């Protein structure tokens, strides 16, 4: 299993880096699978060495407790995409992730889905269940703005409990109003004024178009990538707010 984290200000102790949140997710999955825990002191020492050179770390842990840490840069054109948004496509339910509650190395389904989406000029793909409800993207959790608040699919729908998703739920509860966790049924998604996906690397990524190529849904959906409601989600990542925000 693995976790991918963005290191802020070259510090594992920064609240947004949320080292503890990523560690907790690793520990939980290893306990569920009955796998051996890694040498946490050595793992952190390895991460401290790499954060001098890379803003993004991927930490992989194997069943026998061995760890593998790699580093990379931020995605190309990230500020531009955050500003203008991206297009996403809807594919069939066969592209659901296996063991969605855990971030395992078996990302083949999500990888195939995203590559299929890119063939029709979409940068992301939205995974759905057998009933057509939207679950998550291939790389992040979904958020939609409706009735003056943010909505996000519930964990019970079969999605990854994203680290940033948890941070944003706490942030909205403490500073604005709690997000509503509810299934994203086909009718509901048409009523959102704005939608986005989040993960530890891209933070908040607006989606301006959802391309639908299903037999019963052939009309593309359009959303406002500049909606003022995004200020609520992005507020978590402002430097002035990081000192005052503690992850539960």
The secondary structure of 87-148, three-state, reads EEEECCHHHCCCCCCCCCCCCHHHHHHHHHHHCCCCCEEEEECCCCCEEEECCCEEEEEECC
- For the chain, which domains are there? 2-74 (3.30.470), 78-237 (3.20.10.10)
In this structure, of 7-11, 51-55, 235-239, the range with the lowest mean pLDDT score is 235-239
The predicted structure's pLDDT at residue 219: 78
Element (H, E) at 57: strand 56-61
Q: Looking at residues 61-89, what average pLDDT do you find?
A: 96
3-class DSSP state of 218: coil
CA distance 142 to 148: 17
Mapping DSSP to helix (H, G, I), strand (E, B) and coil, where does residue 65 land?
Answer: coil
Average pLDDT for residues 50-56, to the nearest whole number? 97
Contacts 24+ apart (CB under 8 A), 237-246: 237/16, 237/203, 237/204, 242/8, 242/14, 242/15, 242/16, 243/15, 245/15, 245/170, 245/171, 245/174, 246/15
Average pLDDT over residues 32-60: 96
Most confident of 37-46, 116-125, 130-139: 37-46
Helix (H, G, I), strand (E, B), or coil: what is residue 160? coil
Residues 136-161: tens digit of each pLDDT: 998 999 999 999 999 999 999 999 99
**Contact criterion met (CB below 8 Å) for 126 and 96:** no
**Which residue(s) pair with 141 in the sheet?**
198
Banded pLDDT at 212 (limits 50, 70, 90): confident
Predicted confidence band of residue 224 (pLDDT cuts 50, 70, 90): very high
Percent of the chain, pLDDT > 70? 93
Indicate if the pLDDT at residue 209 is higher than 70: yes
- pLDDT band, residue 214 (cuts 50/70/90): low
| Alpha carbon 47 to its chain's center | 21
pLDDT of residue 4: 96
């Amino acid at each position: 299993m693995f976790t991918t984290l963005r290191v802020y200000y070259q510090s594992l102790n920064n609240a947004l880096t949320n080292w503890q949140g990523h560690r907790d997710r690793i520990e939980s999955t290893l306990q569920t699978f009955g796998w051996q825990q890694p040498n946490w002191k050595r793992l952190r020492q390895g991460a401290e060495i790499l954060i001098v050179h890379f803003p993004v770390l991927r930490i992989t842990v194997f069943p026998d407790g061995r760890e593998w840490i790699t580093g990379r840069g931020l995605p190309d054109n990230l500020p531009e995409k955050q500003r203008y948004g991206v297009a996403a496509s809807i594919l069939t339910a066969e592209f659901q992730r296996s063991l969605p509650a855990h971030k395992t190395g078996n990302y083949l389904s999500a990888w195939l889905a995203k590559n299929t989406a890119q063939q029709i000029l979409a940068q992301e793909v939205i995974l759905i269940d057998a009933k057509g409800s939207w679950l998550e993207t291939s790389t992040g959790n979904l958020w939609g703005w409706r009735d003056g608040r943010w909505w996000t699919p519930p964990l019970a729908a079969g999605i990854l409990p994203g680290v940033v998703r948890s941070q944003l739920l706490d942030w909205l509860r403490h500073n604005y109003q709690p997000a509503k966790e509810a299934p994203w049924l086909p009718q509901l998604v048409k009523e959102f004024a704005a939608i986005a996906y989040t993960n530890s690397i891209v933070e908040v990524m607006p989606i301006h178009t959802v391309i639908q190529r299903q037999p019963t849904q052939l009309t593309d959906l359009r959303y406002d990538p500049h909606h003022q409601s995004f200020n609520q989600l992005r507020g978590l990542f402002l430097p002035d707010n990081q000192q005052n925000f503690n992850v539960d």
